[in-house]
Amino acid sequence: MEADYVIVGAGSAGCALAYRLSESGKYSVLVIEHGGSDIGPFIQMPAALSYPMNMKTYDWGFESEPEPHLGGRKLATPRGKVVGGSSSINGMVYVRGHAKDFDHWAESGAQGWGYADVAPYFKRMENWHDGGHGGDASWRGTSGPLHVTRGPRKNPLFHAFVQAGKQAGYVTTDDYNGHQQEGFGPMEQTVYKGRRWSAANAYLHPALKRDNCSLVRGLATKVTFDGTRATGVEMIRNGASVIAHAKREVIIAASSINSPKLLMLSGIGPSNELKEHGIPVLADRAGVGKNLQDHLELYIQIKSLKPITLYRYWNLFSKGRIGLQWLLTKAGLGASNQFESAAFIRSDKGVDYPDIQYHFLPIAVRYDGKAAAEGHGFQAHVGPMRSASRGEITLRSSDPTEAPKILFNYMSDPQDWADFRTCIRLTREIFAQEAFAPYAEREIQPGHDVETDEQLDAFIKEHVESAYHPCGSCKMGAVDDPMAVVDPECRVIGVQGLRVADSSIFPRVTNGNLNAPSIMTGEKAADHILGQGMLAPINDQPWMHPDWETKQR
């Protein structure tokens, strides 16, 4: 087993890397993936998204350590253990992130990752279908491998949500991935012709048709080195330990959980932690596993006056019928993730760009598929975008088959509590607008008796959930930043021939869902690796609320 490039992880970034590095035909690429095939209706049918996320076959099954600020709750941390990685089990929501997120990356030491630099990669990867709903065509790509579409928004509740936002005084936006993120409008999804358009469908399956790209199943246990130069990857394959040799480079794209774990098992990380587990220190990098971030969210649920929600299909017969229709035609309710309206708003005046995200869903249900007992209802998923809380990934032992310790340290910053109370109060105000009068009966959760700061905090502590956007655990930054793990070309600092390219290198979590920026990271990293120059920067200026300094909306 030998290739020019060995990639660990067939996830969002890894698939894009495999496609781009093998594209010219000059180089051979070998992708190592621990999970199995992504073929099958549970993964490919968009509406079935709560299944693969909760199936041991497809999910690593990680959970956090008891979170000290959430009463010791352990939160689920699903990551895709399957071809396509988390893009095969996620909610398929497509959000690039705000332009200012990437400018912040550049300012914090990730030079060359400002919005002007990453925008051409978003364009290159996208095949955007506006579906006749407007949007910013000049900001979008239309010939990339990744199909991005919009749901049909047939349910009147999707329109009520946008209308209510307008009535509450917020702006609307035709395209939050274009010129203007801020506002209420349609949500985008990585769905094409009724199928989940994962990174595997977009990138890896086409790449594997080439003679110079191959995939092997195995659990990567460590990177092998000659001195400080990476030479390959040791893995457990069919119960035996084997090495895949890299003639040029090794690229780790194993997720924000597994990438720092693999670095530490290979002797790259905080020396005191490595020594604790008897691992010889190759490069003392204090930042490996640190800077861990995520988005948290609450589901604000409302009982519906009318039986128009998806709850009417919440029975075996209807689910079977929807599944059959999807299998035969790739159409109907099975062909959407049901997240079809969204919003990005600012929490306060003086906040220069959105820091709260909404996903709207026409059913009251949890990610694990448990529907609200009240029957017909709808909900908004809401949460702050830029929490100051930081956690860490640490090794449990030197055994590569053991899951690492994951501590997000959620809600450790006092501002987090104030931010979530604001989220609840702003959401209640939106649901109280005239647009929801025909539909909204009463609040299921938190419930109208939950009003004071203390009551809201108690509700938050018990009910806040991860939005499954972990990142930041192998931070990209300047070479002289002691906490940076990779430089702005994704090269691991302190060794040669090794890079990390996935959501673990994000200096700070971006606005919204992380699948799009993760794929972009793979796309851009490929150009750094190939060394043939980067795409020309695009100087598109994002819309900023003209009165952001004095008004919240």
Separation between Cα atoms, residue 91 and residue 363, nearest integer Å = 15
The set of catalytic residues is 469
Q: How confident is the model at residue 368 (pLDDT cuts 50, 70, 90)?
A: confident
pLDDT tens across 211-226, in order? Answer: 999 999 999 999 999 9
How far is the C-alpha of 233 from the C-alpha of 240, rounded, in Å? 14
Q: What domains can you pick out in the chain, each with its CATH number?
A: 1-138+192-290+471-530 (3.50.50.60), 152-186+296-384+412-463 (3.30.410.40)
Q: What per-residue confidence (pLDDT) applies to 457?
A: 98
d(CA 167, CA 434): 8
Token pair 């030491």 is at which residue? 109
Beta strand pairing status for 268-269 and 126-128? unpaired
pTM of the model: 0.98
Q: Is 147 helix (H, G, I), strand (E, B) or coil?
A: strand
pLDDT tens figures, 121-139: 999 999 999 866 678 899 9
Burial of residue 65, with CB atoms counted within 10 A of its CB: 0-12 exposed, 13-18 middle, 19 or more buried: middle
Q: What number is the average pLDDT over the span 84-102?
A: 98
**Measured distance CA(30)–CA(18) in Å, rounded:** 8
- Nearest partner of 135 among 103, 183, 92, judged by Cα: 183
Q: What is the pLDDT of residue 366?
A: 78
The pLDDT value recorded for residue 363 is: 94
480-502 pLDDT tens trace: 999 999 999 999 999 999 999 99
Confidence of residue 522 (pLDDT cuts 50, 70, 90): very high
Largest CA distance in the chain: 70
User: How would you classify the pairing of strands 29-33 and 229-237?
Assistant: unpaired
With beta carbons less than 8 A apart as the criterion, state whether 553 and 169 touch. Answer: yes
Distance, in Å, from the CA atom of 357 to the CA atom of 101, rounded to the nearest integer, reads: 14
pLDDT of residue 537: 98
Strands (E), 181-256: 183-186, 188-189, 191-192, 195-196, 213-217, 219-226, 229-237, 240-252
Residue 1 pLDDT more than 80? yes
What is the average pLDDT value for the chain, to the nearest integer?
97
pLDDT of residue 508: 98
% of the chain exceeding 70 in pLDDT:
99
Does residue 358 register a pLDDT over 90? yes
Strand pairing partners for 59?
80
Model confidence at 117: pLDDT above 90:
yes
**25-78 confidence digits (pLDDT tens):** 999 999 999 999 999 999 999 999 989 988 999 999 999 999 999 999 999 999
Candidate from 357-366, 468-477, 512-521 with smallest mean pLDDT: 357-366
Q: What is the pLDDT of residues 257-294, one digit of tens each?
A: 999 999 999 999 999 999 999 999 999 999 999 999 99
Phi, psi of 352 (to 5 degrees): -80, -25
| Closest to 524 (Cα-Cα) out of 513, 514, 535, 516 | 535
Asked whether the predicted pLDDT for residue 389 surpasses 90, the reply is yes
- Helix, strand, or coil (residue 380): strand
The confidence score (pLDDT) of residue 91 equals: 96
Q: DSSP states of 93-115 as a string?
A: B-----HHHHHHHHHTT-TT-SH
Q: For residues 158 and 160, what is the distance between their CA atoms, to the nearest angstrom?
A: 6
CA-to-CA distance for 114 and 348, rounded, in angstroms? 25
The arithmetic mean of pLDDT across residues 386-392, rounded, is 98
- Per-residue confidence (pLDDT) for residue 134, from 0 to 100: 74
pLDDT at 466: 97
Rounded-to-integer distance, Cα 157 and Cα 258, Å = 39
Two tokens at 115? 């919005």
Pair of tokens at residue 470: 């972990």
| Backbone φ/ψ region at 411: left (φ over 0), alpha (ψ -120 to 50), beta | left
pLDDT tier for residue 545 given thresholds of 50, 70 and 90: very high
- Nearest to 422, CA basis, from 450, 384, 465: 384
Instruction: Report the distance separating Cα 224 and Cα 59, nearest Å.
Output: 27
Quote the percentage of the chain above a pLDDT of 90: 95
